[in-house]
Structures are given as structure tokens and as C-alpha cells.
Amino acid sequence: MKRFLYSFLMFLLCGFPLSSWANEKKETQSVVIIGSGVGALTSAVYLQRAGINTLVMEGQDPGGAIAQSPSVQNWPGETEIHGQTLVEKIRKQAEENGAKFVSKEVISVDFKKRPFSITARDVYDHEKVETIEAKACIIAMGSNPKLLGVPGESGEGGYWTRGVYSCAVCDGALYRGKTVAVIGGGDSAVLEADYLSKITKKVYVILRSDHFRTVEILRKNELIKKDNVEVLYNTKIDQIAGNGQKVTHLNLSTKNDLPIDGVFVAIGANPNSTILHNQLDLDANGYIQLQGDQQTSVPGVFAIGDVVDPVYKQAISAAGDGAKAALQVERYLSSGESGVHRTSAMPLGAQLAELSDTKELYSAIGKGGSPLFVEFYSPSCGPCKQLDPELEKAAGKYSEKIRFLKVDVTKFSSLANTYNVYGVPTLIIFDKQGKIVKRATGFDDIQKTLKNLDDYTSK
């Protein structure tokens, strides 16, 4: 009997692959790029052209900050181009050369061991966490917008995404024909105000000092000449106030109240370097300190763009950083080390229906015998783009039970106002009778909703 049991156990152990019992070890990557702005994409192009396979981890905001710019006028060879279009052109070039992209957000790194260890979670499912090993790494994590830190801006009782934003091209369409304020006097503030001046009734540009701090002098001069633009110098914001649902006015140091409908904060940014503490040398403000060109304090780890640059913060300088970093990586790996690991991007499911006429939405509500999921989005919204694969997957899986519709707020801002959409992405769920049963705003909230679609199939 013992001999039989022994033989049976050996059969089980030998008859099944090891992966049935444990996770299969991932092959080490040659290069992992953390980030997906123009600097990261430039690195990917250079590395692939050099025959070095590269994995790009796009994170929550693919394309970086420039993807949110509606008008880039200082990129060589392009008189004027939308930031998202520019990013897509470089990304396509990187893909055509063999670079691989994954929708993962890095949550921790370990640069103290070799190969380097990079832990990331799926942007669609935070429960899916994976650790990837790499022989070299390029950090292109960019920066996050600074906040004013005044009452009513964010946190409990604040109006963040309900009237206070940091991206005009993402959320500006919600304020077509209305009055808005842009806070700041640098390049980003000028760009935000310029864009908003074309679609809103009135734009107040509010500066704490008595002058602008922009290198875009020509655009600034054109901006302040516009009839619907008013600049308030030496003005401090004491509070962002509203009615509990949306912003209604600002309390200023020079005036009691300034009636407005929306606020766009453009006062600079902080480097995205939180996960790098105790891993790399950082300066007092959190910027990565470089040892030579793009080399960090750890050999084999390079950094580019806004996460190392507190001064210039230009897309073209980030691209230059990316090229230099790629050349340094090539030299670093010149010993003959190579890695082969091709990770496919998540395949898209069925296509979502796109609203083409206002009447189309009204005729769909309460009709068809099934719930209606309506996503309000902006073409330049990073989180909106990240949600597309999940929404399309859901549309394919529940095609017989749920109808899905996308509404571009840049084309149908009136619908956004009708349904009190104050930020994108926003998902509104109508039951079979046409009643709103759920409203989800923001990437995380919508993602949670999509995980529980069965709750709505009977409504």
C-alpha cells in the first residue's frame, strides 16, 4: 500500500507542470521604462532601434502632461499640434520598432539588489500585483500638479473634480459659455487660460504676484488682449466656495466675492518620486539627483524629464533626456546582457457606442428593456482612456443585458450640464425605466462599479 501511494504521488508531481503548483518565474527584462510621456517614448524608440527590447509601464496617465495640452506650438517640425496627437505619433513609432506597453502602475521598487525589482499593479484591477525584474531602468514618472491648499479646494467638503480642476482640456468643455478662473502665472496657466478663453464666456487669470512667469511671452501677450480675459494681479485666494454641489464663487484678498462657475489650478507641480525615497538620492524638494547626464545614484538606473528637472519642464528637454538615457543604457548593457520578454497589451473587447446626436441619448433612456450605462468623457482625459478597455470588455460580456454609450463632453457639453456632470470620467447608470440608479465619478469609483455589473442587470 505504501509503495502504491508513493508511486501515485510521484505520478502527480511529475505529471503536472511546476506552474500548476507555483507561480512561474518571470523572465528578466532588459529595460523597464516607468512612465509614458515624450521622454519615456523617446527612450523606447532609441532603445528598440539599438536592438534592446523595452517594456514601458504606462501608469494611470498615459502620455504624460503634454497629452493634456490642446495646442503645442514649440515642438520642432510642428507649427501646431495637439499634445495627444504628438504623443500618439511617438508611441506608434516606438511600437513599430518593437517596444511593448502595459497598463500597470508602479507601487514600489527595489534598486538595492540585482536584477532590479519593480512591483506594479494593474490599473484596471488593483488586486492584480506583479513583480518584474529588470537589468536596467529608466524613470520617467513626471510630476503631479500642486494645489493651493485653501478651504474648499479638496478633501472633505472640497470641490475637487466638482468645480476645481488642474486640466482645462480635460474638463473645460463642461464650462462652455460660463465664467471660470485660472490660478497661476506660469506656462501652464497661460496655456490653460488661452484654451478656456476660446470656449468660455469669461476667464479670470489670478496671480499672487505683479507679473507672469512664463517663457511663452507671445502667447501671454495675445491672451491678455482678449476681450473675455481679465488678469487680477497681486491677488490671493482665501477660499473656494460653493453651494455644496458645485463652485459658485471665490473669496479673494482684494474682493469679497468673485462669482465663477469653475476653477483651474495651474501653479506648478511636484515630482512623482514618493516610491523612490530610500532607493535613490533625492534633493530637498523630491527631485532625483543625477550623477552624470541621466545616471542616478544607482548604476543602471536612469531618470529623465520633470522628475529630475525643477527648472525647464519642457517636453522637448524631456525628449532630449530620453535620448541620452537610452544611449547610456546601451553602454551599460554593452557587456552582452539581453532579455527577451514580450508582454502584450490588454486586447480590446467589443466597441462602445458613441453618441452622435443629443436625441439619441434621450431616445435610449428607458427603452430597449435593459439598463443604460452612459460614460461622459473627454478625448484628452488620461483616466478616461485607461477605462476604455474595461468598458469595452464589459460591453462585450454584457451585450445582451446592458447597453453602453459614450458621450464626449467636448461635443455635448449641454448634456453634461443637464446631468450635472462636473468632472470626467463620470458614469451614469439608468435602469430599465429610465431612472438614474448610480453615479460614479473618477477612475477608481467607475472601476468598482464595473466589477459589480450583475447588480444592475435586473434593474
Here the CATH number for the domain that contains residue 447 is 3.40.30.10
On whether the pTM is more than 0.85, the answer is: no
Q: Are residues 158 and 92 in the same domain?
A: no
Q: Are residues 405 and 427 in the same domain?
A: yes
Among 281, 299, 332, give the residue marking a domain's end: 332
Q: Are residues 178 and 216 in the same domain?
A: yes
Q: How far is residue 322's CA from residue 305's CA, in Å, rounded to a whole number?
A: 8
Contact by Cβ (8 Å): 196, 203: yes
Residue 115 lies in a domain: yes
Q: Are residues 135 and 30 in the same domain?
A: yes
Residue 201 lies in a domain: yes
Q: Is 309 among the residues known to form the active site?
A: no
Classify 172 as helix, strand or coil: helix
Q: Which of 61, 137, 167, 261 is catalytic?
A: 167
User: Which of 104, 131, 134 lies closest to 116 in space, CA to CA?
Assistant: 134
Any alpha helices (H) in 50-151, and if so which ranges? Answer: 83-96
Q: Are residues 315 and 377 in the same domain?
A: no
User: Which of 386, 385, 403 lies closest to 394 in space, CA to CA?
Assistant: 403
Q: Which of 61, 171, 261, 306 is catalytic?
A: 171
Q: Are residues 243 and 296 in the same domain?
A: no
Classify residue 242 as exposed, middle or buried by CB count within 10 Å of its CB (0-12, 13-18, 19+): buried
Contact by Cβ (8 Å): 159, 166: no
Q: What are phi and psi of 49, to 5 degrees?
A: -65, -25
* pLDDT tens, position by position, 421-451: 999 999 999 999 889 999 999 998 999 999 9
State which amino acid sits at residue 205: V
Q: How far is residue 109's CA from residue 213's CA, in Å, rounded to a whole number?
A: 36
Residue 19 lies in a domain: no
pLDDT at 335: 55
CB-CB neighbours of 281 under 10 Å: 12
Residue 401 lies in a domain: yes
Q: Are residues 287 and 375 in the same domain?
A: no
Residue 339 lies in a domain: no
Residues of the chain with pLDDT under 70: 1-26, 335-351, 459
Q: Are residues 40 and 131 in the same domain?
A: yes
Q: Which of 170, 194, 261, 381 is catalytic?
A: 170
Let me know how long the chain is: 459
Q: Are residues 135 and 279 in the same domain?
A: yes
Q: Are residues 80 and 218 in the same domain?
A: no
Among 283, 301, 332, give the residue marking a domain's end: 332
Q: Are residues 280 and 181 in the same domain?
A: no
Among 246, 267, 288, give the residue marking a domain's end: 267
Quick one: cell of 71? 495646442
Residue 288 lies in a domain: yes
Q: Is 14 among the residues known to form the active site?
A: no
Strand order through the sheet with 436-441: 353-354, 403-408, 372-377, 426-430, 436-441
Q: Are residues 39 and 138 in the same domain?
A: yes
pLDDT at 254: 81
pLDDT at 4: 46
Residue 12 lies in a domain: no
Contact by Cβ (8 Å): 306, 140: no
214-217-221 Cα angle (round to 5): 115
Q: Is 167 among the residues known to form the active site?
A: yes
**Residue 294's domain spans which residues?**
25-144+270-332
Contact by Cβ (8 Å): 352, 384: no
Contact by Cβ (8 Å): 302, 308: no
Structural domains in the chain (count): 3
Q: How far is residue 7's CA from residue 13's CA, in Å, rounded to a whole number?
A: 10
Classify 269 as helix, strand or coil: strand
Residue 406 lies in a domain: yes
Here the CATH number for the domain that contains residue 42 is 3.50.50.60
